[in-house]
Amino acid sequence: MEPIAGELGERFAASGHELAVVGGPVRDALLGRPVHDFDLTTDAVPSRILELVEGWADTVWTVGIDFGTVGLRKGGHQLEITTYRSEAYHPKSRKPEVSYGDSLYEDLVRRDFSVNAMAVRLPGQEFVDPFGGLTDLAESTLRTPGKPEDSFSDDPLRIMRAVRFAAQLGFTLAPEVREAAAGMADRLTIVSAERVRDELSKLMLSPEPRRGVELMVELGLARHVLPEIPKLRLEIDEHHRHKDVYEHSLTVLDQAIELEERRGMQPDLVLRLAALLHDIGKPKTRSFGEGGRVTFHHHEVVGASMSKNRLSALRFPKDVVADVSKLVALHLRFHGYGKGEWTDSAVRRYARDAGPLLQRLHVLTRADCTTRNRRKAAALARAYDDIERRIERLAEEEELNKLRPDLDGNEIQQILGVGPGPLVGKAWRFLLELRLENGPMGKEAATEELRRWAAEHVE
């Protein structure tokens, strides 16, 4: 942060105030992880912070000032300065009550975990670690500065944050933290859906989301966040043998992440959520046939609806909800491909229905193969290689992602001698179906087909 840290520290010290870098930036610097944004804490109240950075910061914003936070940008760095504080939830409140403190120790003792309760005083760069955070960091262990029950009572979202850090940093939870998290999981219900969603998103985008999901299930958090996931652990007995859907879903998530990396994709929240949720419709659609045969008819349709409802309840953006539910609805479509007997029109429909989600659907469908039968797995991989090649060829030939009928709306009106209205839309859809079935026809052939259709459908 130098010279910015030194300048800002001197500025606060000259006015008789303390300032320290705290929390995540200190932790990440010690781990050798890149640090882009900086959190600082001070004994100065927000109004005083604004006075001290006036004329020095390039930009200042106050959206978090009610919680004691002033944001600013200086020389390409983004900083947030927060007054020493403690915050706590009342038993039935969804909003924390914030009060200001007057010492760095008081601020650190109320933080979530010891690895986030380390600080560096400015401008002298004195390292402050009153709760053994450095030792816990070296041991990859999450502990709380005080009693975990007190920490989780102050802010129940910290229970979710614990499993997120496990997934993000590869940490384990100290026994007393695990016990408190499991015993207080119900407290998550008072936290706003938006805050839970943000932690879940970070967990899903972490290097090991499976680790976080498993912890959520083990500790009982999933009942309040993604209750459909623990229900995937369908019982298996000698009469009703079938795949463990919970384990399968986690394996699909792992394999989707591997394919992301192999294809040079960035961590993809939509894809990862779809991989985790793709089979959540199975418990509701499970039925038993002769000989104990298990079926899950239309589980993709039911699962798409369930995904939409769950992600909406968690206040995910509408585009994320729509994209995840669509991938869940489409994830079985490829299995009708068989040995490549689909016509070009069927391949066009497959690509058209996926639309901008096509590449994600490719990854999800490949990841969904978890069979231990090597011959079957190899056959599925060959079939998907084939359909991807065919889609690519058709795309090159026909610009598949820009499919349009050979005649536009104005031309349809002119040929039929009609004005704008429902008839034009019906004719356009008819021509689009012809385009999907036959490929490019040209305007002359399309005109003949349009007139033939109109003779049968226009009174």
Q: Is the pLDDT of residue 402 over 70?
A: no
What DSSP designation does 10 have? H
Q: Does domain 140-225 have CATH number 1.10.110.30?
A: yes
138-148: pLDDT as tens digits: 999 999 999 99
Predicted confidence at residue 239, as pLDDT, reads 40
**404-455, pLDDT tens digit by residue?**
788 888 898 888 888 888 888 888 888 888 887 887 888 899 899 999 998 8
Which of these, 320, 307, 400, 408, lies nearest to 358 by C-alpha position?
400
What φ, ψ does residue 165 adopt, rounded to 5°? Answer: -65, -35
Do 390 and 439 meet the contact criterion of CB atoms below 8 Å apart?
A: no
- How do residues 120-137 score in pLDDT, each as one tens digit? 999 999 999 999 999 999
Instruction: Work out the average pLDDT over 205-210.
Output: 96
151-185, pLDDT tens digit by residue? 998 899 999 999 999 999 999 999 999 999 999 99
Vertex 94, ends 90 and 95: CA angle to 5°? 80
Q: Where are the domains of the chain?
A: 1-139, 140-225, 235-402, 409-457
DSSP string, 188-223: GGGS-HHHHHHHHHHHHTSS-HHHHHHHHHHHT-HH
pLDDT digits 0-9 by tens, 220-279: 999 999 999 999 987 554 444 455 889 999 999 999 999 999 999 999 999 999 999 999
d(C-alpha 142, C-alpha 228), whole Å = 27
In CATH terms, the fold of domain 1-139 is: Beta Polymerase; domain 2 (3.30.460)
In CATH, what is the architecture of 235-402? Answer: Orthogonal Bundle (1.10)
pLDDT tens digits along 39-53 = 999 999 999 999 999
**Is the whole model's pTM more than 0.85, yes or no?**
no
- Work out the end-to-end distance of the chain between its first and last CA atoms, rounded to an integer number of angstroms: 76
Can you tell me the distance from the alpha carbon of 148 to that of 131, in angstroms, rounded to the nearest whole number? 13
Nearby residues of 307 by Cβ (< 8 Å), 6 or more positions away: 273, 274, 277, 280, 321, 324, 325, 328
Residue-level pLDDT at 380 = 83
Question: What's the pLDDT score for residue 433?
Answer: 86
- The set of long-range contacts for 64-73, using a CB threshold of 8 Å and a minimum separation of 24, is 66/98, 67/98, 68/98, 68/100, 70/46
